[in-house]
């Protein structure tokens, strides 16, 4: 995962897009505003992007200051995330079963890696949030490096499965990052992506977080991204993950409104325990892709 930005177009901690990160077009239409930032849509391909977006330093601070990716949130919702992980691996195993080497890009507290390990995968991760990566190392004894993908030093062609769950939308330059990911995957390996679906009401309302989510994808723009960066799409469709509705007080969704309701959620959790549900709102997309054969 690359968080370095080119210096051109950078003013006051923000980087202005002069062309679409996906198709290269230079015409943008207003789409939304939030958290003091403007969100636009490419007039040619439809990719939704924060424009101008926070620069690399601002993004690093966001993920290491508690503003985003808070590990307490992931600890609180782990019962739901484990159910999601098991279901995701059911899909993966239709195409590729362990043993094999899995790399999780952005594992946070390592829930998906922990599940992968129990299913027979050899696990590794790379995580920008230093607190979360340290938790993976010390509490779960997982091989998780602190930093970004470009600096991790992974050998090309050595990963049989790469997981990018709720990661793609955070990347400043998804096309460049996906090419780096493509080079890591073995010839018969797989890439698994889950990301918000901007074409649905739930995706737009619940996942519009411009300080974190720099790009939002539709089925067509996600497919275009994969196909133009060296992948063949094996599966792409809507997906709804599980949520622990009594453990949302640390969520940044809806501008952190759940934090205001923190005492209510904590009381509900003490009374009811974990209440894990899946709402059929088509909030996310899930995609499986293989490296395209090089000619």
Domain contains 270: no
Report how many domains make up the chain: 1
The better pLDDT of the pair 268, 284 is held by: 284
Residue 191: its pLDDT value, please?
98
Report the pLDDT averaged over residues 268-273: 67
pLDDT digits (tens, 9 = 90+) for 58-115: 877 777 766 565 798 899 899 999 999 999 999 999 999 999 999 999 999 999 999 9
Local confidence band at 2 (pLDDT 50, 70, 90 cut-offs): very low
**pLDDT tens-digit series, residues 109-141:** 999 999 999 999 999 999 999 999 999 999 999
List the Cα angle 203/172/214 in 5-degree steps.
25
Backbone angles phi, psi at 55, to 5 degrees: -80, 180
Instruction: Please indicate, yes or no, if residue 135 is contained in any of the structural domains.
Output: yes
With respect to residue 45, please indicate whether it lies within any of the assigned structural domains.
Answer: yes
User: Residue 144 pairs with which residues in a beta bridge?
Assistant: 125
Please state the pTM of the whole predicted model.
Answer: 0.89
What CATH number does residue 40 fall under? 3.40.50.150
The answer to whether residue 128 sits within a structural domain is yes
Least confident interval from 53-62, 122-131, 173-182, 202-211: 53-62
| Among the listed residues 198, 199, 167, 197, the one whose alpha carbon sits nearest the alpha carbon of residue 180 | 167
What is the residue range of 39's domain?
A: 10-21+32-242+278-291
Q: Is 227 within the bounds of a domain?
A: yes
């Amino acid at each position: 995962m690359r968080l370095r930005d080119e210096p051109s177009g950078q003013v006051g901690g923000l980087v202005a897009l002069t062309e679409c990160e996906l198709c290269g077009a230079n015409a943008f239409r207003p789409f939304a505003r939030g958290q003091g930032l403007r969100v636009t849509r490419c007039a040619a391909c439809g990719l939704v992007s924060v424009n101008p977006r926070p620069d690399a330093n601002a993004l690093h601070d966001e993920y290491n200051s508690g503003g985003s990716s808070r590990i307490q949130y992931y600890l609180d919702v782990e019962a739901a995330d484990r159910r999601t992980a098991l279901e995701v691996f059911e899909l993966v195993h239709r195409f590729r079963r362990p043993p094999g080497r899995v790399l999780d890009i952005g594992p946070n507290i390592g829930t998906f890696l922990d599940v992968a390990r129990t299913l027979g995968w050899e696990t590794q991760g790379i995580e920008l949030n230093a607190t979360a990566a340290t938790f993976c190392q010390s509490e779960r004894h997982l091989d998780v490096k602190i930093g970004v993908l470009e600096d991790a030093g992974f050998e090309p062609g050595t990963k049989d499965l790469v997981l990018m769950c709720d990661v793609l939308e955070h990347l400043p330059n998804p096309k460049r990052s996906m090419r780096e990911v493509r080079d890591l995957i073995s010839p018969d390996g797989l890439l698994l992506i889950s990301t918000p679906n901007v074409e649905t009401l739930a995706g737009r309302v619940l996942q519009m977080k411009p300080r974190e989510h720099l790009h939002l994808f539709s089925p067509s723009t996600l497919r275009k991204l994969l196909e133009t960066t060296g992948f063949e799409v094996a599966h792409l469709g809507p997906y709804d993950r599980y949520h622990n509705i009594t453990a949302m007080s640390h969520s940044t969704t809806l501008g952190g409104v759940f934090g205001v309701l923190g005492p209510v959620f904590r009381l509900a959790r003490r009374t009811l325990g974990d209440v894990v549900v899946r709402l059929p709102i088509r909030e996310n997309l899930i995609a499986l892709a293989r490296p395209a054969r090089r000619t």
